[in-house]
């Protein structure tokens, strides 16, 4: 990994593909409920960043892979840090839905 890999934003399209190949994985959208209702990736669950402490009600197994996204990738980056501090082991920031090229559900 080079310094350029660190600076390159996550590719949500690759992240969603990876999520779909992973057994028992969760696609976590940390945008607000209003943002989520305006369009989201099918199969994602919405837990806004400010309610992230509620994740254990939906995902109690801390070894479950979590693929986290938001609008741009900034909130999901913060969410990944919080989730890791809560003990979740496999957490990945896949970026922002703003650059998603797949179908959006409403």
- Report the number of secondary-structure helices (H) and strands (E) in the chain: 5, 6
**Helix/strand/coil for 15:** helix
d(CA 24, CA 37): 24
Determine the average pLDDT of the residues in 25-33.
Answer: 98
In this predicted model, what pLDDT tens digit does every residue of 46-77 receive, in sequence order?
999 999 999 999 999 999 999 999 999 999 99
CA atoms within 13 Å, Cβ hemisphere of 6: 3
CATH 3.40.250.10 is right for the domain spanning 3-105: yes
pLDDT of residue 7: 55
Domain layout of the chain by residue ranges: 3-105
Catalytic residue among 28, 52, 66, 70: 70
105 tagged catalytic: no
- The whole-model pTM stands at 0.91
In this predicted model, what pLDDT tens digit does every residue of 77-92 receive, in sequence order?
999 999 999 999 999 9
pLDDT of residue 8: 63
Nearest to 68 by CA among 30, 106, 32: 30
């Amino acid at each position: 990994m080079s310094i350029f890999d660190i600076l390159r934003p996550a590719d949500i399209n690759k992240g969603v593909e990876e999520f779909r190949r992973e057994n028992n994985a969760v696609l976590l959208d940390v945008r607000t409920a209003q943002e989520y209702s305006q369009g989201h990736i099918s199969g994602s669950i919405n837990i806004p960043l400010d309610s992230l402490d509620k994740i254990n009600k939906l995902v109690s197994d801390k070894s479950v892979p979590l693929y986290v996204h938001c609008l741009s990738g900034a909130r999901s980056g913060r969410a990944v840090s919080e989730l890791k501090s809560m003990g979740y082991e496999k957490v990945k920031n896949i970026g922002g839905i703003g650059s998603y090229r797949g179908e959006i559900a409403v």
